[in-house]
Amino acid sequence: MAAVYFLLLAGGSILSYTLGETLEQWTAFLFQSLLFIVVCLLIYSAIRSQRIIITEKQFILKVIGMTRHRIDFEYVHQIRKGKMSGSPIMEVIAKKGPFSKVCPVPFLPFSKSWDELLLTFEEKCGSEVIGNMELTRRKGELRTWRES
């Protein structure tokens, strides 16, 4: 990421020099590019800091140390594969009385752990909570889960 930033800085500096821009315009460019790098670092750290915690009673998804989803096992209605913006997710559907909530949990950072997690859900909630684990490609979609 640092290499990309320095490449961007060098290219922008050369472009600023050839266009005859002032020092104020160059520093504005520098701060904008630095802001872009900070946002990218925040997104990267959010993705890397995701944790799934299983306790005796709850399933917890934490992102950047904050709890994103906390679901008691007794309220888990179904778990199935899904997609959000083209990326694979696991949809944990929680039902409490007449209310239902779909909690998207990322699949890819935990792809190696999902078999074990599904076994835990099956043990704690029963086998009926495991829903459709196969997605097919719709017309115009680029990604699919079906393995050949």
Taking only the tens place, the pLDDT of each residue in 56-83 is 999 999 999 999 999 999 999 999 888 8
Q: pLDDT under 50 in the chain at which residues?
A: 147-148
Give the pLDDT confidence score for residue 25 in this predicted structure: 85
Let me know if 5 is exposed, middle or buried by CB neighbors in 10 A (0-12, 13-18, 19+): middle
> Phi and psi dihedrals of 110, rounded to 5?
-115, 20
Quick one: DSSP state of residue 57? S
Quick one: DSSP state of residue 145? -
